[in-house]
Each structure stands twice: as C-alpha cells, then as structure tokens.
Amino acid sequence: MGLFDKLFAELVDIIEWTDDTSNTLVYRFPRYGNEIKNGAMLTVREGQIAVLVNEGQVADVYEPGLYKLETANMPILSTLQGWIHGFESPFKAEVYFFNTTQFTDMKWGLRNPLIMRDAEFGVVRLRAFGSYAFRIEDVETLLTEIVGTDGHFTVEEISDQLRNLMVSGFANIVADSGISILDLAGNYDELGDLLAKQLDPEFAEFGLSLTKLLIENISLPEAVEKALDERSSMGAVGNLDKFTKFQAAQSMRDAAKNPGGGAGAGMGMGMGFAMAQSFGNALSKDNQQSSHQEAPPAIPEVEHFYFVRDGKKAGPFNLAAISSEISIGSVTADTLVWKSGMKDWQAASEVRAIAVLLNSEPPPIPSV
C-alpha cells in the first residue's frame, strides 16, 4: 500500500464485509500493516462470522452483530498483546470474515466408469452424477487446516477435493450396500443417505458440514441396458409356453376368417390345424430340451380331400370342411373324391373317412 492507503486506514474505523460474489468462503479485511484502531467498529452481518487472528493464532470469534473493538470485548486478544498503555494506539491483528450461508448446487460425478461386480450380471461399469450442498461449520478448523493466510478463499479452491471425496465414498457405499444394479434406480434416496453419513466425518475434518446430497443418475453401459430391456420384455410376456400357444390360436382364428363361405371356412380351419400342428411340434421340442416333464403327443396329420363339383376339381378340404359340404348338399354318396395316396377318384361312400360323415347325417324326419 502507498501513503494514501495508510492515511485512509487511519481514518477508517469501521470493519465490515459486503459480499458481492457467490463463491467466496473466506475474506480477509485489508488494513495497512494489519493495524486496527482501538475502538474501531466491527460489523458482522447475518450469514457471517468474523475471526481476529494475532500472529497466526485465533484470538476472538464474533457472531453476527455490531462490536466495538476494545478491552471489554477482546479478553483473549488483550491477553495475547499484553497491552499496558490503555489501548489508545492501534494494535495489529487480522480480521477474517467467513461466509456461513449454504453453498448449493455443487456438482459431482464419476469422470471414469466405476467397475463393480454384480451377483447377476457379473462385472459391470457404472457412471453416476449428482449434486450437494455444504456450509462452514467450524471456522477455526477451516482457517487452520485449509485457508491459512489466503486472503480470498473461494469454493473453487476446495471443490475438487470435495468432489474426490464424493467419488470415493460413492464407490464404497455401492460396493457395501449389496444392492443389485437392477434395483439401483429405485434406491437413489437410500444410497444418498448412506453416502452423506459416510462423508460427514470427512467434511468435518475441513471445518465443513454436508447439508444435502443427491444422487441424480446412475447409468449402465449400452449393452447392459439393452439386456435389461430384453429381460423386461420377457417379463411382460410371462409364461413363454402359454404365450406361444395363444399366438397359435390367434393364427387359427385369423385363418378361419375367410369370406368364401363354407368351403372357405373349411380351408381356413385346415390351415389353422396345420399351423397348430407346426406350433405343437415346436413346443414339444422346446419342452423336451428345457424341462424334464413328459411332452404331449404330436397333433395327428390332417387329411385333405378334393372332390368333383360341376365337372371341376374343388379343394383341398379337410374333414371338417367336407362335413360342412355334406351338410349343404355339395357332397353326396356319389360325389367323386380323391386325396394324396389314392390311385383314382372314388365315390364318397367308398372312402371310409367320408362315409362315416355321410352315415352320421340323420334320416329324414317321418311324417306324422
């Protein structure tokens, strides 16, 4: 400081700090040669604590209020100085102001993935991030352990160290919690509480207090997330055997919806039976491989016939469709029919499978 600064310091007898920043933790009041006039007024605002330091030692601590710096309210400093001259001359002491408000929305996150072992998925990599808030709890500890002689101590000077504590603590609590990675998303609050509890003593070593800690996201590698999505889809399906049978039944129903009348319906049912047989065979093989339960017998092969209608070949129709044709008179005992394996066309009454259907028709109702 120059001569003008020295003269200005002699005139000024009010010591105060009006913080116009959002990141200052500790501020040292500037005085020429650290001289403070006896009887100077010290103003400590809400959210502040003032500390007088004499030759590197904490002399007096002042809570919010207005103080006149004289013998009556400086018992510790007066003992250190050993004044015997009525405190009329300036005395040497440094005044540090501490910002005791909360510092919020502090960010933390894993710069590199955390490798952990999960009981279900084996070795996986996790990323996580969140936010926290803290405040000054013990000004003497912070001054002696961290600040030292720094006249303007900001959040940025300690944030990296606090972030490292977060990352290290997170790795420990995830490993110790035993929570499966499938359940991590539903336990953010629990993990946050565990992490805060673990970090409280470490923050206290710096004279700080951790007031809030949030875990905002825990993410997994893309391949693991894809596997989780597939597992969720399987869970939505439920019993795979029942689901496949349901799909087969749906296919049969859709195939039977044919606008071609009775013959069309028979063809649709025939296709449905064939599809059902195919699904049944596939399910039988799967069940034999996946369980020790006895597999059901295979669905019998469905017979399909052609018959002559109006001099033209019609078909193929399964027996259910042939029965429908018999009921509407399209197939009679004399109708020529043929199926794979027969040498030539035969009358319907000569084919046993169809003859049974012909004989199942009731005789005409007798007249009363």
Residue that is written with structure tokens 């295979």 in the block: 298
User: What's the Cα-to-Cα distance from 326 to each of 28, 169, 211, 303, 312, rounded to whole Å?
Assistant: 108, 82, 86, 16, 17
Contact criterion met (CB below 8 Å) for 77 and 34: no
Is pLDDT at 183 greater than 70 in this prediction?
yes
Structure-token pair, residue 186: 């539903």
Structure-token pair, residue 308: 């002559």
Q: Which residue has the higher pLDDT, 297 or 155?
A: 155
Instruction: For 167-261, list the strands marked E by DSSP.
Output: 208-219
Residue 148 is predicted with a pLDDT of 85
**Separation of alpha carbons 229 and 14, rounded Å:** 66
Helix 222-237 / helix 240-256 crossing angle, nearest 10 deg: 60
Is pLDDT at 134 greater than 90 in this prediction?
yes
Residue 178 identity (one-letter amino acid): G
**Interval 187-216 mean pLDDT:** 92
Query: Shortest CA distance to 50 belongs to which of 99, 92, 13, 90?
Result: 99
**Separation of alpha carbons 87 and 39, rounded Å:** 9
**Interval 48-58 mean pLDDT:** 87
39 Cα distance to chain centroid: 60
8-state DSSP, 75: H
Beta strands 152-154 and 24-28, pairing class: antiparallel
Q: Provide the 10 A C-beta neighbour count for residue 22.
A: 11
pLDDT band at 124 (very low <50, low <70, confident <90, very high): confident
Half-sphere exposure of 349 (CA within 13 A, CB side): 5
**Interval 170-191 mean pLDDT:** 81
**Interval 36-51 mean pLDDT:** 89
Residue 133 identity (one-letter amino acid): A
Residue 177 is predicted with a pLDDT of 78
pLDDT band at 237 (very low <50, low <70, confident <90, very high): low
Q: Which residue has the higher pLDDT, 313 or 239?
A: 313
Environment class of 45 (CB within 10 Å of its CB; exposed 0-12, middle 13-18, buried 19+): middle
Residue 316 identity (one-letter amino acid): P
- Provide the Cα torsion 284, 288, 289, 290; round to 10°: 90
Give the pLDDT confidence of 13-27 residue by residue, as tens digits: 789 999 888 899 999
Is pLDDT at 140 greater than 50 in this prediction?
yes
Contact criterion met (CB below 8 Å) for 189 and 129: no
8-state DSSP, 143: I
Q: What are phi and psi of 40, to 5 degrees?
A: -65, 150
> Is the peptide bond prior to 296 cis by the omega test (within 30 degrees of 0)?
no
Half-sphere exposure of 190 (CA within 13 A, CB side): 10
Angle in degrees, CA 132, 138, 143, rounded to 5:
100
**Separation of alpha carbons 294 and 11, rounded Å:** 103
Q: Which residue has the higher pLDDT, 5 or 101?
A: 101
Task: Using a pLDDT cut of 90, give the percent of the chain over it.
Answer: 24
Give the pLDDT confidence of 298-345 residue by residue, as tens digits: 666 667 888 888 888 888 888 888 888 888 888 888 889 888 888 888
Is pLDDT at 88 greater than 50 in this prediction?
no
